[in-house]
Amino acid sequence: MKSEDRNLHTVFDELLNRKDKEKLLSQRGIVIWLTGLSGSGKTTIANHLERRLNSEGIITKLLDGDNIRTGVGNNLGFSTEDRAENIRRIAEVAKLFMNTGIVTICSFISPTKEIRAKARAIIGTADFHEVFINTPLEICEKRDVKGLYQKARAGEITNFTGIGAPYENPDNDYIEIVTNNKTIDDSVTSLYQQIIKKIKWS
Ligand code: ADP
């Protein structure tokens, strides 16, 4: 064995793998991918779920527009190509966290089946948990948390999802969470109960 081969062998031998890290943390690293219209409740549910998991000793990472668009995606706009590239980067970042054993919650409108399929392909079907925050458009528009629907209706924002651009509902292999006529706690508890068994280390 040449000396550089021996060095390489040693380096790989010493690398800790995902299972070692999951065991250390006593949890499984998975990706929880929240999709839904603007105002559907993704941010609210992600924040509450993260707090609940943390209070039980589970380490999480939340990826959302705030920490992605200002950093790894800060040279991207909202064209179809840029949206696809943004999702590719998010999925790759999520995978790095997941492979460190961290429960990674991604909160993005991710409006098309194609874009979500791309994220699923990068992360891997077994670890990718798609969660559809299913709130009707009229309710999201009534909530209008950020005043964006009003701007979209006034033509100040073009291609706004649900108004000028489509949102495609998932049609298979997803967890559905409803928020209309539910308390935040109802919605978060429903998601928690469906996801916790995938996180618990046994
Ligand atoms: P998004 O991140 O999808 O754009 P937000 O979480 O910012 O949506 O906004 C959702 C709004 O809906 C918040 O004002 C929240 O208080 C409200 N809301 C009402 N009921 C629920 C519920 N059951 N689950 C989540 N959000 C709810």
pLDDT tens series, the chain, 202 aa: 565 666 666 666 677 899 999 999 999 999 999 999 999 999 999 999 999 999 999 999 999 988 888 899 999 987 888 988 999 999 999 999 999 999 999 999 999 999 999 999 999 999 999 999 999 999 999 999 999 999 999 999 988 999 999 999 999 899 999 999 999 999 999 999 999 999 998 7
**Pocket of ligand 1 contains residue 86 by CB under 6 Å:** no
**Pocket of ligand 1 contains residue 52 by CB under 6 Å:** no
Residue 61's DSSP bridge partners are: 104
Mutate to test the pocket of ligand 1, among 33, 44, 69 (most ligand atoms within 8 A of CB): 44
The pLDDT assigned to 201 comes to 87
Instruction: Examine the residue annotation and report whether 202 is marked as an active-site residue of this protein.
Output: no
Domain ranges of the chain: 18-134+166-199
**Pocket of ligand 1 contains residue 146 by CB under 6 Å:** no
For 107-151, the DSSP string reads: E----SHHHHHHHHHHH-TTTEEEEEEE--HHHHHHH-TTSHHHH
The pLDDT assigned to 66 comes to 82
CA of 172 to the centre of ligand 1 (A): 24
Residue from 91, 100, 83, 102 nearest 124 by CA: 91
Query: Does CATH place domain 18-134+166-199 in 2.30.30.90?
Result: no
DSSP 40: S
CA of 103 to the centre of ligand 1 (A): 22
